[in-house]
Chains A and B, each alone.
Chain A
Amino acid sequence: MSGDSIPIALPLSRLASDACEVTDLYRELRKPLLQYLVCLGLSTDEAQDTVQDAFLSLHRHLASGASQENIRSWVFRVAHNRARNRQSSYRRRFGEPLDVEIDMVLDQATPEQVVLEKEKFRQLGKAIRQLTESERECLLLRAQGLRYREIGNILGISTSTVGETVSRAIKKLAEKCHV
């Protein structure tokens, strides 16, 4: 996940304010976007391509004088739709085992703790895979710090539906993981 530079060339003389806005937004949203896309099932390379595509679209969007409201959810929605178009990757979500990083995370734990934590992680992964697509997407976007209203914009559902979906999903996970 390297490369912090903006992947687009902007005509700065005419669009200086847009450029600054895009740059700030890129710094703010790059990491959450990448995490969201990777957790949807895209590969790291695909996720980076998709983020760059989304910001290229944002630049065009702003350059055309379009509305600048809800820009965060606008970028997420573009990236989300691009990810959906990569159907084969999209279906792989959460499908991979995670033993390697659990070892990394638990470097200083005792062997018993490691076994226990691994088991909890495994249960959580299983529970996440059992959520509905909508529940999973809502939780993923919530984890990126988005408001319910923004999540609703991205997924094309109402704010109250987001609230209900998030609540349901969290309760399911808490129940299955015995937290």
Chain B
Amino acid sequence: MCELSEKLIAWLDHELADDEMAQVQRHIQDCNECRCQLHAYQQVSRKFDAYLDAVVASKAERRMPRWVPVLSIAAVGALAAVAFLVFLRPRVEPLAPVSSVKTAPAASVLGPKTAPVPVPIRKVRQRHAPSPPPEKNQVASWPPSEPAIQIAIPAESMFPPGAIPEGVNFTADLSIAADGSAQQIRLRPRLVGFERRATQP
């Protein structure tokens, strides 16, 4: 091992005093071993630089993709929310007091059914729902050409026992498109006992 081999890297970096620079310069012309070492150190320095460039490029590349999953989830969520609002808009209205029911009774929304009703859903209604007054139909916001049906749903089928006072049921109003698919659903609470009084004077 040459005594000057310790100065090779400092020589590469031009960090030696002038006389030492010249001394090493002369030495490496004669010493094959030091020339080889010098070559190796140069190679390592170059590869180290390339490695740093790769680290920077790697991190710059990873910047954008980090957001892709977040944006995808947000987009899917937004689509789901839109679909929910358009196709399955549940509307649970608060129970109206007696006086207001007389002017705008919740039961009056239960209009007559003018359309064929899907059988499985109809079964539920037949079991649990009181007959709606056939003369009232205030579902004015729905397109008149679209038939509407109602499904009575017992409260205990949706909520744990005791969560809803006895005598309260729910009615789902559905509009059916020409192809038979459900277009709109409205969910309304109904006071069964009160409704009987209101509709049977």
Which residues of A are in contact with B by a Cβ distance under 8 Å?
Answer: 1, 34-35, 38-39, 43-45, 94, 96, 98, 100-102, 104-105, 120-121, 124-125, 128, 139-140, 142-143, 147-148, 163, 166-167, 170-171, 173-174, 177, 179
Contact of B51 among A44, A121, A171 (CB under 8 A): A121
- Report the separation of the CA atoms of residues A148 and B50 in the bound assembly, to the nearest whole angstrom: 21
Chain B's interface: helix, strand, loop or mixed, by majority? helix
A interface footprint on B52-92 (CB within 8 Å = 1, 0 otherwise): 11111111110100000000000000000000000000000
Chain A's interface: helix, strand, loop or mixed, by majority? helix
Contact of B56 among A35, A45, A102, A139 (CB under 8 A): A35
- Report the separation of the CA atoms of residues A45 and B173 in the bound assembly, to the nearest whole angstrom: 54
Asked whether any CB of chain A lies closer than 8 Å to the CB of B196, the reply is: no
Residue pair A39, B6 in contact (C-beta under 8 Å): no
Residue pair A105, B55 in contact (C-beta under 8 Å): no
Interface residues in B14-70 by Cβ distance below 8 A to A read: 15, 37, 40-41, 43-45, 47-61, 63
* A residues near B3, Cβ cutoff 8 Å: none
- Report the separation of the CA atoms of residues A35 and B50 in the bound assembly, to the nearest whole angstrom: 12
* B residues near A142, Cβ cutoff 8 Å: 13
* B residues near A39, Cβ cutoff 8 Å: 52, 55-56
Which residues of B are in contact with A by a Cβ distance under 8 Å?
Answer: 6, 9-10, 13, 15, 37, 40-41, 43-45, 47-61, 63
Contact of B9 among A101, A105, A170 (CB under 8 A): A170
* A residues near B55, Cβ cutoff 8 Å: 38-39, 94, 96, 98
A selection of 19 A-B contacts at a CB cut-off of 8 Å is A44-B63, A96-B59, A100-B57, A101-B58, A101-B61, A104-B57, A140-B52, A142-B13, A143-B49, A148-B10, A166-B10, A170-B41, A170-B44, A174-B40, A174-B41, A177-B44, A177-B47, A179-B44, A179-B47
Residue pair A173, B9 in contact (C-beta under 8 Å): no
* B residues near A167, Cβ cutoff 8 Å: 6, 9-10
* A residues near B13, Cβ cutoff 8 Å: 142, 148, 166
- Report the separation of the CA atoms of residues A143 and B45 in the bound assembly, to the nearest whole angstrom: 8
- Report the separation of the CA atoms of residues A98 and B40 in the bound assembly, to the nearest whole angstrom: 23
Residue pair A166, B48 in contact (C-beta under 8 Å): no
Residue pair A174, B63 in contact (C-beta under 8 Å): no
Question: A35-B56, A44-B56, A101-B54 given. 4 additional CB < 8 A pairs?
Answer: A101-B57, A101-B61, A105-B54, A177-B47
Contact of B48 among A1, A102, A124 (CB under 8 A): A124
A27 to chain B, nearest CB (A): 18
B117 to chain A, nearest CB (A): 59
- Report the separation of the CA atoms of residues A104 and B40 in the bound assembly, to the nearest whole angstrom: 25
- Report the separation of the CA atoms of residues A133 and B194 in the bound assembly, to the nearest whole angstrom: 81
Given A147-B15, A166-B13, A177-B47, is A100 in contact with B52 using a C-beta cutoff of 8 Å?
Answer: no
Residue pair B48, A173 in contact (C-beta under 8 Å): yes
A173 to chain B, nearest CB (A): 5
* A residues near B6, Cβ cutoff 8 Å: 167
A145 to chain B, nearest CB (A): 10
Closest residue of chain A to B7, judged by CB? A167
- Report the separation of the CA atoms of residues A157 and B115 in the bound assembly, to the nearest whole angstrom: 89
Residue pair B58, A100 in contact (C-beta under 8 Å): yes
Residue pair B40, A179 in contact (C-beta under 8 Å): yes
Contact of A163 among B10, B41, B48, B54 (CB under 8 A): B10
